[in-house]
Copies of this chain bind each other. A is one copy, B any other.
């Protein structure tokens, strides 16, 4: 048996039916691996994707603001953006109104990539939710969000 069969893997997943944390880990990892497989050929890695995606929505924002929107640390953002800049996907400019800030802009190339890569999200999303009704997907999002909110509050209160 060269690799584990699909039935084997499914059995492994069921072993965690009692843990939402593990299920979330599997969902997250499956999503990003599948997406990376589809975006790699365009020179976009798993780590760059969230930044690109957010910048397609709005660019010309500061690194700190970008970190906030992606719920990332400033250090993580700084390292990732260095990579994106080296790939020619972004360029940075000092904010004239507050020259402490560096504003991040997409290059024309990165902007054009949106047309190619945004459908990828929809593809992955469609594959992931195959067999689920729109109502079920909506319910899932709602439940996930309530969990995120619960845990954020927990973390918040344990800090104070």
Q: Which residues of A come within 8 Å of B, CB atoms?
A: 4, 6, 8-10, 12-15, 17, 19-28, 30-35, 37, 50, 54, 57, 68-71, 121, 124-125, 127-132, 136-137, 139-141, 143-156, 158
Measured between C-beta atoms, what is the minimum distance from A56 to chain B in Å? Answer: 12
Q: Is the CB of A153 within 8 A of B6?
A: yes
The answer to whether A148 and B26 touch (CB under 8 A), given A6-B153, A20-B125, A34-B154, is yes
Partner of A145, one of B23, B32, B147: B23
Partner of A69, one of B15, B25, B137, B156: B15
Q: Is the CB of A132 within 8 A of B146?
A: yes
Pairs A-B, 5 closest by C-beta atoms:
A21-B31, A30-B151, A24-B27, A24-B28, A23-B144
Measured between C-beta atoms, what is the minimum distance from A118 to chain B in Å? Answer: 11
Partner of A152, one of B10, B35, B71: B10
Measured CB to CB, the nearest residue on chain B to A144 is B23
- Listed by A's residue number, 6 A-B pairs whose Cβ atoms lie within 8 Å are A13-B71, A17-B141, A20-B141, A24-B27, A33-B155, A140-B144
Residue among A50, A153, A154 having the largest count of chain B Cβ atoms under 10 Å: A154
Q: Is the CB of B69 within 8 A of A144?
A: no
Partner of A12, one of B12, B69, B121, B129: B69
Q: Is the CB of B144 within 8 A of A136?
A: no
